[in-house]
Amino acid sequence: MWGPRWREIPDDVGAISGNREQLDISEEEIVRLKKAQEVLRDLASQLLAFAGNETWALYAAKAMRYDPERAASGLIGLSNRIDTIDPQGRSFHRKAVKEGLCIRDDVVALL
């Protein structure tokens, strides 16, 4: 079984206080979270493989301002935070994906 799901509790000024509360979610939701985590990590590994093995294609991608390594880092970060309700933490990783893949602001809302 996967570990517990948590919600980060912000302090009085809205920063993460380090305190968390456990969320009650169903087995079905746990399976969906696990599948989403696997998909994000698989995509991140494909981006890292591309960046590490496709030298000339990577030059072309970087010339068009794509950064697959940054996007992969963001996807891995998202996968690690997927079972935690923490909007601040996820926004950092979403920004990395957005910048690494040159995604428009209106599309990023789906992440």
Domain span at 81: 5-105
Whole-model pTM: value is 0.71
Total domain count for the chain? 1
Higher pLDDT, 26 or 45: 45
The reply to whether 63 falls in a domain is: yes
Contacts 24+ apart (CB under 8 A), 33-41: 33/2, 33/5, 33/82, 33/83, 34/2, 36/79, 36/82, 37/79, 37/82, 37/83, 40/75, 40/76, 40/78, 40/79, 40/82, 41/75, 41/76, 41/79
The reply to whether 93 falls in a domain is: yes
pLDDT digits (tens, 9 = 90+) for 49-108: 999 999 999 899 999 999 999 999 999 998 888 877 666 667 888 889 998 988 877 765
The reply to whether 60 falls in a domain is: yes
pLDDT digits (tens, 9 = 90+) for 23-40: 677 788 888 888 999 999
